[in-house]
Amino acid sequence: MIPISKTPSILIAGTGSGVGKTTVSMGLMAALGSRYRVQPFKVGPDFIDPSHHTAICARPSRNLDSYMMGEKGVLETFTRASSDAGFCVIEGVMGLYDGIDSTETASTAHVAKILGIPVLLVINASGVSRSVAAVVKGFIEFDSVNIKGIILNNIGSERHARLIRDSLTNAGITIPVVGALPKSKDLTIPSRHLGLHMANEMKQDMSALPGFIEKHLDMDAVISIASGFIPPDAEINEPGERFSVNIGIAWDSAFCFYYRDSFDELRSLGAEPVFFSPMCDELPDVDGIYLGGGYPELHASELETSRTRHIIKKVAEDGMPITGECGALLYLGEELETDRTFKMAGLLPCSSRMTGKLQALGYTEAESVCDTPLAGKGNIVRGHEFHYSITECDRDAVFAYNMRRGKGISGGKDGLVEHNTVASYMHTHPASVSFARFLHSCSRYNKR
């Protein structure tokens, strides 16, 4: 059992996407880093924002997703990650109340209610003044979220900020404005087809961000609000069976989309992660392989010329368990077409091509229709899909999943199976599908 620690904690939410949550969250993490050991979190299934959090805080950012993880999983991850932290900052997703379909599930509000955490609401104040009071009043009264402070973004002038503060007072709103940030074109992160750039690819100088936040936020008020957080009780499950195996994990610019909870679960079950780059490393001595998503299409030439693709196919044919997600599906197939066609690992009976538009985005739910290294027949798996590619499969291809929600690879099916390998467009979280079955398969392979 992990003791519950009363760590000052705050959640940064927004009235919608694009209002400045990421700028405020990253700036606050950086500013607080000079005083505390900051533990970052991100609501939702995102991989990219957490990479920036991790770089800023020098601690792995954790995802809190009530759809994939459930309420218990959210509580457990938050409790584990915050146990030795001095301050927790959670970045929300979309608008505060935006969840899956018309429900609160997967919303920032749902996570806020699970944890009972104080919320700072970021509002884009560009082009509005008194209307902000109407927005705040609506957000306060809509649900029982613990909104404790307001941050105004894109303020035009001190007079503009004063007009908004007066309007809030006149409307009887007692929640304080703890920050008024002026417009700043220099403090934005460039984006591309799968979202923002990963932290290791950033060329933009963001060193001014913590000073910007310190200047325009009332840091004492933020710390005071966060210090009022009372953590909820959480039951922490200890792992059962342990497996003494080495798991090769693809980790480079082509394969970089992973939930840190996945690495944690692998270790807690006795596995030793061995990180390698399919672009430039030999395959290490391992008992199984886990390939995440990322940007194989941007590194297709290096992946083609590396002999590692041939080795991975060979060990797969020998029965080594392999599990892959999204970008891994593209890599494990026969070919990948971008500006030209590149040879890939040739393990799965499919070929993929990049398109100019989004092909799938959203949460998934699937039923496993056969036994694979990752899930048994009849298991229900929840995850997330986000890609710009199309994958075409051979007629006799075997699929692991029937999709109850989401698109999958083709015809409502996902998860190509070949030998002891399964790869899908769906990203999963260990709270939805544990790695225990995968490690059991790797252990059997090890003992042959």
Radius of gyration of the chain (CA): 23
Q: What stretches of 81-139 adopt beta strand conformation (E)?
A: 87-91, 119-124
In the block, tokens 């404005």 appear at 177
Q: How far apart, in whole angstroms, are the C-alpha atoms of residue 440 and residue 442?
A: 5
Least confident of 83-92, 236-245, 381-390, 399-408: 236-245
207 vs 60, more confident: 60
- 257: tokens are 């989309």
Average pLDDT over residues 170-179: 97
Q: Is a pLDDT exceeding 90 seen at residue 206?
A: no
Domains, in order of start, for the chain: 9-227 (3.40.50.300), 246-446 (3.40.50.880)
Q: Are 251 and 211 in contact (CB under 8 A)?
A: no
Q: Is a pLDDT exceeding 50 seen at residue 72?
A: yes
Average pLDDT over residues 41-58: 95
Phi, psi at 164, each rounded to 5°: -70, -45
Q: Is a pLDDT exceeding 50 seen at residue 193?
A: no
pLDDT digits (tens, 9 = 90+) for 223-276: 999 999 998 887 777 777 899 999 999 999 999 999 999 999 999 999 999 999
pLDDT for residue 200: 53
pLDDT for residue 6: 84
pLDDT digits (tens, 9 = 90+) for 345-368: 999 999 999 998 999 999 999 999
Mean pLDDT value across the chain:
93
pLDDT for residue 192: 42
pLDDT for residue 184: 79
- β-strand partners of 336: 342, 352
pLDDT for residue 331: 98
CB-based burial, 186-212: b 16+ in 10 Å, e otherwise: ebebeeeebebbbbeeeeeebeebbeb
pLDDT digits (tens, 9 = 90+) for 269-297: 999 999 999 999 999 999 999 999 999 99
**Which residue out of 57, 326, 350, 442 is catalytically annotated?**
326
350 is catalytic: no
